[in-house]
Amino acid sequence: MESRILKEYKDSRSLQSQYILALDPISTDDLTHWECTIKGPLHSPFANHTFKLRIDIPQTYPLTTPICKFEPFAMPHPNVNFETGEICLDILDTNWSPVFNIQYIVEAIVWLLNEPNFKSPLNLDLANLLRFDDLKAYHDLISYHLNNSAK
């Protein structure tokens, strides 16, 4: 496990990505807790906003998934629990494979911001707006929350 995380740490130093602004361990002494800043994808209601993710690597990594959530919470997204920041994403659960890495997860989360899945909702209100194709209301509600939390 150690050399694996060390390698991911090294790779993260040279990381160049449009949407991942920062991907760092909270302390370099302990590589099991990470913090990440992502940018909302263009053409999504999250554009022009940045979000923080908290990633905890379990002892059994990479055989089991890292625990990953939005922190601080209040993230308005159909697949994110508004109160806890918990994320419902298949690769973070049943479809996890040891070949995936932290960077891959973060990319998948960025992708999720753009491609919400209303079939497994954690935020029912937003999922319903999406289900009934009320995109205007969907965008407005998200912007409302985002601007509110910015204050």
Active-site residue set: 88
Min separation Cβ 81 and other proteins, Å: 8
Cα 113 to Cα 10, 52, 82, 138, 145, distances in angstroms: 27, 13, 14, 13, 15
Q: Which of 35, 71, 107, 125 binds other proteins (CB under 8 A)?
A: 125
Contact flag: residue 139 with other proteins (CB under 8 A): no
Q: Are 44 and 113 contacting, i.e. CB atoms less than 8 angstroms apart?
A: yes
Contact flag: residue 150 with other proteins (CB under 8 A): no
Q: What is the SS3 assignment for 10?
A: helix
The smaller minimum CB distance to other proteins, of residues 35 and 86, is found at 86
User: For residue 26, what is the enclosing H or E element?
Assistant: strand 20-27
The two structure tokens encoding residue 11: 């790779």
Contact flag: residue 64 with other proteins (CB under 8 A): yes
Chain residues that interact with other proteins, rule: CB under 8 A: 1, 3-4, 6-7, 62-64, 79, 86, 88, 93, 97-99, 119-122, 124-125, 127-128, 131
